[in-house]
Amino acid sequence: MSVAALRHPLASSWRRIPGAWRQPVAIVGLVIAAFWVVIAALAPLVAPHDPLAQGAALYQAPSAAHLMGTDELGRDVFSRVLWGARISIPLAMLLVALAFTIGGTLGGLAGYLGGWVDELVMRSADFVFAVPTILLAMAVVAALGPGLFHAVLAVVLVSWPGHARVVRGLVRTTMQSEYVAVGRLLGSPTHRALVVDVLPNVAGPVIVLAALEIGNAILLLSALSFLGLGARPPTAEWGSMVSTGAEHFEAWWIGVFPGIAIVSVVLAFNLLGDSLRDAFDPKAIIKARGA
């Protein structure tokens, strides 16, 4: 029996990804997410107006000239919603990347080294879990001063433990598996096992987590902006646009459309992550093989 044959069942889960695309829900998620990423990249080209220009009449209801109406300063809401994608999506991706780098490194070390390192990392993670995310994030932003960058830092601070837990668990189960032991018997050093055997197995679940976390990051970031702790007023950021809408109740279009943008982006990433999770779930794989 070759070493490859003993690999963790997750390693073969890459082959399951095409299965995920057979689900209509996954395709819808992918299409919407891709749409918003393109919008974020091309906003200056597709947006009909400057998101900060105050030329038009105030409080115009949606019309052909202004698809989503104009806001309290006569800015085009449609253009602002499109530009908003340029803030929320890249920041959420950056934030998840940061949280994963920090959480993944700490969790990987904790799982690999064990002992007091493990204790220290996991107890810190438990602490962050026990405090409601928004409370901690609010306290951090309030201390550092409001601003988009500080809000990102705050969300990273509350979201690294999720990554740390997942990576730690994966590293530990992989380290105990037969193929790592076989590798060690064949004389390859343990750190080589980490790169060759552990990393490929960790990748799948991490991708799922990242997709789900991007949605959560966008939600939390916009919530902080809504509370006035993230993006500051002139910036076309979805959360702060909803907050402006809250002050101008009769002009519903100011707040409703940025909210729909948030729902659609977050839902798309959640649909994507959820379908991928089904595909990566080792139990689902075993069931699929058995059937």
Partner 1 sequence: MAFVLTHLVPGDPAVANLGDRASSDPVAVRLYREHFGLDKPLPVQYVVYLGNLLHGDLGESEQSRRAVSTDLAEYIPATAELAITSMVLASLLGLTLGVIAALNRNKATDQIIRVVSLAGMSTPQFWLALVALYVFFYKLSWAPGSGRLDAVVLPPPHLTGLFTIDSLAAGQYDVFVNSLQHLILPACVLAAFNMGLFTRFTRSAVLEVLENDYVRTARAKGLPELTVVFRHILRAASPPILTVVGLAFGNVMTGTVLVENIFSWPGIGQYSYRSATALDLPAIVGVMLFVAIVYILINMFVDILYGVLDPRIRVA
Binding site for partner 1 (CB under 8 A): 24-25, 127, 129-136, 138-140, 142-145, 215, 219, 222-223, 226-227, 229, 239, 242-243, 245-246, 249, 252, 255-256, 259, 262-263, 266-267, 270-271, 274
CA angle in degrees (0–180, nearest 5) for 124-126-127? 65
Shortest separation between residue 56's beta carbon and partner 1, angstroms = 23
Are 191 and 171 a contacting pair, CB within 8 Å?
Answer: no
Classified as helix, coil or strand, 133 is helix
Nearer to partner 1, 201 or 243 (CB): 243
Shortest separation between residue 112's beta carbon and partner 1, angstroms = 25
Nearest to 231 by CA among 100, 126, 88, 124: 88
Nearest to 224 by CA among 143, 281, 147, 109: 147
Nearer to partner 1, 50 or 278 (CB): 278
Shortest separation between residue 189's beta carbon and partner 1, angstroms = 37
Q: Can you tell me which residue has the tokens 């702060």?
A: 240
Nearer to partner 1, 5 or 123 (CB): 123
Nearer to partner 1, 106 or 241 (CB): 241
Nearest to 225 by CA among 147, 133, 135, 156: 147
Shortest separation between residue 192's beta carbon and partner 1, angstroms = 36
Shortest separation between residue 129's beta carbon and partner 1, angstroms = 7
Nearer to partner 1, 42 or 139 (CB): 139
CA angle in degrees (0–180, nearest 5) for 242-128-201? 95
